[in-house]
Amino acid sequence: MTEISTNLETREATGGRVAEIFNEHQQLVHRRTDRMFAGLMALQWLGGVAAALWVSPKAWAGASSQTHPHVWAALLLGSVISSLPIILAVTRPGHVTTRYTVAVGQMLMGALLIHLTGGRIETHFHVFGSLAFLSCYRDWRVLIPATIVVAADHFLRGVFWPQSVYGVLAASEWRWLEHAGWVLFEDTVLFIAIRHSIGEMWGIAERTAEIESLNEGLEAHVANRTAQLVAANRELEREVAERKLAEAELAEQRSFLRQVIDLNPSFVFAKDAEGRFTLVNRAIAEAYGTSVEGLLGKTDADFNSNREEVEWFRRDDLEVINTLKEKFIPEEVITDARGQVRWLQTIKRPILSPDGTANQVLGIATDITARKQAERALRQSEERFRQIAENIREVFWITEPRDKKLVYISPAYEEVWGRPFRSLSDVSSTWLDAIHPDDRARLIEAEVTVQSGGQYDLEYRIVRPDGEIRWVRDRAFPITNVSGEVYRVAGVIDDVTERKQALEQIKRSLHEKEVLLKEIHHRVKNNMQVITSLLNLQSKTIKDEQALSVFQDSQNRVKSMALIHETLYQSEDLSRINFAEYLQKLVAHVTRSYRIRPDAVRINVNVDDVSLPIDTAVPCGLIINELASNSLKYAFPAETQGEVNITFARADAQYVLRVSDTGVGLPDGFDPDKGKSLGMKLVRMLTGQLCGRLECRNGVGTTFEIKFPEDKEEVRA
Amino acid sequence: MRFNKGQFILFAACAVWVSLIALGLGLLWAYENRPGPSTTPPAQWPSDSRIDLATDRATLVIMTHPHCPCTRASIGELARLMAQAQGRVTAYALFLKPEGSYDDWEKTDLWQSAASIPGVNVVVDDGGAEARRFHAMTSGQILLYDAEGRLLFSGGITGSRGHSGDNAGLSAVVSLLNTGEAEAAETFAFGCPLFDTQSECRGSLDDGNKH
């Protein structure tokens, strides 16, 4: 019963699909038959033309002939009849109008062929053959227009031209019904065949639909099972992936924890009740001179040679396990694999089981050896600092500016300040009071500077309780924390009273000597001025020009030296002379003494900014005086115009003095090394004093060049 | 009811198609039912004819253009006629041979068909002289004379051009031969003109009428 019900349901479900398949099949048949008729009608048309050409190619009239009208009829009318069915069969295959048009056209083509063959009874078989072909549509309705065309043809021709269709002259007016009856007879046969064929098509459609339905059910079942398997597989894959992910995460966490405890410089360990390590990190393993794997499962006794330490560790471990209480061990020692004692700060905690008992102890021991060493070093350092600070005469002090608190001051404070040391706060409160009132402002300003990160080196006065004033030198510098902030200021104060007094004495002595030296230079200059004046007075009684010239030269020579002393006592530096300043004065004097008009001979002075010692400046001044005087007197006769150039430069650790003119030049054969004049002798002699070398060039004018070292003493040595 | 564009085009195409077919079939029908030129044959057997008149029976003469495809139906009907006449007629098939035509121009399949009909004598009509004597102008035209040389029937023995089957001409001839009477003594002849110009035919006709 269930099976029958299922079949019925399947049939109902497949009913629509059966009709769909049938329609598809029928449409396929219609299209295929349309295409068949398209070809068939084209062949018919060609066959009709061929038949016309064969049977009645020409119409004759005597000996002349022309194309027979049947040929044109076959060609033109046949093409017209065939055209529309062929076009529709090609462009609209499967449409009902197409096959109706094909049916009509096929029957009309039969009529044409019957005409072309002269009404041969054999050609009438075309009608029945065409009906058989039309049955290929498996659509009995196409037989209707075909039959109507045949009936109409016979009816009309039976009425108007009976012998053309019936072959008798006096056919009955109902004779067309006989012919139509035979056509209907064939129609009936074809109708039955078409019905059978349609039935078979429906059967095929039903079977196809059933097969499809079964296939779809089977496919759906397979798809359902496949989907279930895929889902299960995905779930399995997801679980596997999650498990892998969890394992990876666990491994990652283990690795991470392993790295954490290995990176920890403290000793991380766990031991069981028997003292065997169950967890260790790299630090403790390295301390014991082994690896992590090598330490696991072993005890302290396996690596530590100090039995006392081992027992101590063991006792603490058992205490923690038994009491279930955490134990903090501020300091303990362990002897490592190299035999070195390391200080540890350890905390031990029991590892509790679910039942509340403990059979393992977890410990973390921080190596405080460095801290212990630092503390010891600090103590030693403090001791050394204390020894230094308490035994030197300088006063060390440290303040915290934020709290305006004196942190430290060395015992030398009592000696320098002349005050007893009661407390740091006492010192701090009386600090500014002890500063000389005139120096307090400077000190306060300096303290602001050092609190801002600067330093100061300041000398100021303090006033002792007995009224004695002492000079101190206070050098302070900031102390910054890790963030760069000044949190302390330290300083050193030195009692400089004696040194200050000695310096004042030296300054006074130096000033006295400078005054004296200036006075000497003044006196020398005045004496030379007196000599010059005497020579001048004396020269006024001399009539001889040569003697007068000698007097004038001597005056100029004395004047050149007097200018040295004048420049010296007017300058700040009494040992060196600004040579450029001196040379300007010298050239001005020489020009005036020889009454040289500026528009006749121009004297150009080009001197580097150099300062010369007096033992160099005097010879240089005399040399320039001699050479310039020589040029002014002899180089420009008859008041001709020209230039005298004086340059003094320093290059390559030596000085170059050059005096040149654009005058008439030296006489032919003049040798500066052998010149007999006093001037040339002085020049050679003074050049020798300077350890220099004299060169003379005679061309367009005369050029004297003297080069001498900066440090004559070095050359002489 | 409204037609869309496609349906309208289809309808118009069908209308044009049917119209063209109707026109073509109409022209074809008109051609097939248009008889050849008719003339009045000599009422008495022409004396100058070279064909001998049978004295003991009727004599039938059929004018044949050897190349006329329409005459093939007439030859076929002649065969039926001869079968039905049962020796009561002597038949002559005059095969036109125009002047200047090549040898055996007239020896076509029609010649063979006619020659194969019992009781039919196939005669060459050189230049159409005999046709002119009988005033015949259309291939397939039948002339039936009795033993005394009197014209009994003149016309075609096909219902239309080249169309086989029962027709008035055949029935009349058969009736005349069998009963001596017929409903019609003259029918239209359907076939090719024996002469290619109307003037030639007219001249011949005039000559025939003179006889």
pLDDT, position A49: 92
CB distance A81 to A114 below 8 Å: no
Percentage above 70 pLDDT, chain B: 91
Write out the two tokens for A648.
């003094």
Residue A714 burial class via C-beta count within 10 angstroms: exposed 0-12, middle 13-18, buried 19 and up: exposed
What is the pTM for the complete model shown?
A: 0.47
CB distance A369 to A358 below 8 Å: no
Q: Quote the CA–CA distance of A606 and A624 in Å, as a whole number.
A: 13
Which residues of A are less than 8 Å from B196 in CB distance? 61-64
Q: Quote the CA–CA distance of A712 and A692 in Å, as a whole number.
A: 9
Interface probe with A: pick from B8, B19, B166, most Cβ of A within 10 Å: B166
Phi, psi of B188 (to 5 degrees): -75, 145
pLDDT, position A717: 57
Q: What's the order of all strands across the beta sheet hosting A405-409?
A: A405-409, A395-400, A486-495, A469-480, A456-463
Which residues of B are less than 8 Å from A58 in CB distance? 67, 69
Which residues of A are less than 8 Å from B24 in CB distance? 73, 76-77, 80-81
Which residues are registered as beta bridge partners of A400? A405
Q: Given an 8 Å threshold on Cβ–Cβ distance, is B128 in contact with A64?
A: no
pLDDT at B158 over 50: yes
Q: Given an 8 Å threshold on Cβ–Cβ distance, is B163 in contact with A163?
A: yes
Task: Return the half-sphere exposure (C-beta side, CA atoms, 13 A cut-off) of residue A666.
Answer: 17
Task: Kindly list the residues of chain B whose beta carbon comes within 8 Å of any beta carbon in chain A.
Answer: 10, 13-14, 17, 20-21, 24-25, 27-29, 31-33, 65, 67-70, 72-73, 96, 98, 100-101, 128, 139, 159-160, 162-168, 171, 192-197, 200
Q: Given an 8 Å threshold on Cβ–Cβ distance, is A62 in contact with B164?
A: no
pLDDT at B210 over 70: no
pLDDT, position A275: 92
CA distance A78 to chain B (A): 9
Q: Among residues A295, A271, A272, A273, which one has the least CA distance to residue A282?
A: A295
Write down the ipTM of this complex.
Answer: 0.84
DSSP A169: S
- Averages of pLDDT over runs of 10 residues in chain A (717 residues) are 44 72 90 92 92 88 87 92 92 90 91 81 86 90 90 78 58 70 88 91 89 85 90 93 91 88 90 93 91 92 90 93 93 88 92 89 92 91 86 88 87 88 83 89 90 91 91 93 90 91 90 85 86 85 84 84 81 82 87 79 88 88 89 81 90 90 83 80 90 87 91 64
Task: Kindly list the residues of chain A whose beta carbon comes within 8 Å of any beta carbon in chain B.
Answer: 55-65, 68-70, 73, 76-77, 80-81, 83-84, 87-88, 97, 101, 108, 111-112, 115, 118-120, 161, 163-164, 166-169
Which residues are registered as beta bridge partners of A698? A702
The set of residues, in sequence order, having a beta carbon less than 8 Å from that of A168 and lying 6+ positions away, is A162, B165, B166
Helices (DSSP H) in A358-483: which residue ranges? 369-391, 412-417, 424-430, 437-451
pLDDT band at B207 (very low <50, low <70, confident <90, very high): very low
pLDDT, position B204: 38
CB pairs under 8 A between A and B: 108
Phi, psi of B204 (to 5 degrees): -65, -40
CA trace torsion A360, A362, A363, A364 (10° rounding) = 160
